Structure 1
Amino acid sequence: MTTQIQKVIKSISGAIFVVTTLVVMSTNALADGSVGVSINIDPLAIGNAIADAVKNNAGRGAFTDNLVETVFYQAGQKYNVLAVNMNQHPQTGGLKDVVFYGSATAPDGTLYGVWAFKSGEFTHDGDGGWINWAMKGWFTRDGDGGKHVVFQPSF
């Protein structure tokens, strides 16, 4: 699992090119009462859409959101994920059962750390904006502006 996640992170720091295939199905009723099925696969359209999304969403908020979504799904949708601007010197000692750590650079040059883990706590010392951190999983936020997060295990 770690190998898959690292490949995705390297792709993100370069400029996302995770190729997905779009499958479009349509059904038609035929004269004899049977149903005809047509399947169109267009991987180029999806690849182009991803590249356009990177160009059009070069902002850090879109980058952090995409980063945690990508790692969450690559980790099998069963671990919490946290991405934090490393310039804010995050203290991540409260994260438990870390299964992955990686780093990725946003288009503006900002370096982010990203962790996949089972449970734990984290307090963000920055302004709390989504451009500096993002998370996905099972958590509650409290404290000043929701800057303290408690992550629960999913299993």
Structure 2
Amino acid sequence: MFDFFKKKKTPGLIIGSPVKGKTVPLSSVNDPTFSEGMLGKGAAILPSEGKIYAPADGTIETLFDTLHAFSLSTADGVEILVHVGLDTVKMDGDGFTGHVHSGDAVKKGDLVLEVDLDKVKAAGYDTSTLVVICNTDDYGDVRGLDNKEVQPGDDVIVITK
């Protein structure tokens, strides 16, 4: 009855999944740079498809030459790194196809990369796809939503200002 006196909670900023798969805690990834949060907090997805989409509206700041990762900045100032696989930089772009360029504006859900997951696995690399908020310290909390099946665009990270 008195709910109108209560302040409405703003959910914060939501970052979507860049890929279809299952989320796991970032801390469970077999790479200390990511699992220990050296680059920031976020989420890891075990992909079931090789299409990688923009997790939010923004600008592609960097598309790595090896096509294994890209960074994106949103209008809200969120700095997002999407990293496909562990040590896949060593593949030197083999099995990866880019669909955007550095400086391109993207909308959440736009196709950014395609990766041949079988080729990555055959080369002996982990296909875990990481979504990291590189400016985690600018926010009150950055929380990955773990242990759920996701489609591209589904919520995987909640950021509280």
Structures share a fold, TM > 0.5? no
Under a length normalisation based on structure 1, what TM-score does the superposition of the two structures give? Answer: 0.29
Under a length normalisation based on structure 2, what TM-score does the superposition of the two structures give? Answer: 0.28
Larger-gyration structure (1/2): 1
More relative contact order, 1 or 2 (CA 8 Å, 6+ apart): 2
User: Which one has a larger percent helix, Structure 1 or Structure 2?
Assistant: 1
